[in-house]
Amino acid sequence: MPWPWRAVDQDGDLIDILVQPRRSRRVAEKVFRKLLKGEGREPRTIVTDKLRSHSAAHRIAMPSVVHDTKQYANNRAEVSHQPTRQRERQMRAFKSAGGTQRFLAVHGLVGNLFRVGRHLLRAVHHRLFRQRAFEVWNTVTFG
């Protein structure tokens, strides 16, 4: 079973995902370095679960960044797993690590497009954002 490593920003949007066969310090370092390269700057805080490989990789890759492992701090990342898990159940599990990586990379970006903070918006604005999301989707998919 491949392990998906996710990076989620403070708004709950998926930044990046990397599927790896293991959850080790070396893999965690690879994920952190890939994220740093993609973002161009260090984050103020990194929030992970209490897996020891995360702490070890953090000390090596980003020692100046604050590392938060409190009990409920990583809920945003855990909640971002839910649509993926639902889709995985529908597909009766992913068949390969490569296929999983391709699917999750697209699935996360499309999810970011259509997921808006409904609780923060009035109904009129929510409908407007959803309409724009569908316009972008139609432009991208149907040209």
Residues in the chain: 143
Q: What is the pLDDT along the chain (143 residues), one digit of tens a residue?
A: 577 777 777 767 777 777 777 788 888 888 888 878 877 777 888 888 888 888 888 888 888 888 888 888 777 766 766 676 777 767 677 777 777 777 777 777 777 777 776 677 788 888 888 888 888 888 888 86
Q: Where are the beta strands (DSSP E) in the chain?
A: 3-8, 14-20, 45-47, 66-68
From 66, 82, 67, 73, select the one nearest 14 (Cα to Cα).
82
Domain extent, residue 128, equals 3-142
Structure confidence at residue 60 (pLDDT): 87
In this structure, what CATH number is given to the domain that contains residue 20? 3.30.420
What sign results for the dihedral spanned by CA atoms 125, 126, 131, 134? positive
From 72, 68, 75, 80, select the one nearest 16 (Cα to Cα).
80
> How many structural domains does the chain have?
1
The identity of residue 81, as a single letter, is H
Structure confidence at residue 80 (pLDDT): 65
Structure confidence at residue 81 (pLDDT): 64
For 38, residues 6+ apart whose C-beta sits below 8 A from its C-beta are 15, 16
Structure confidence at residue 102 (pLDDT): 79
Structure confidence at residue 65 (pLDDT): 86
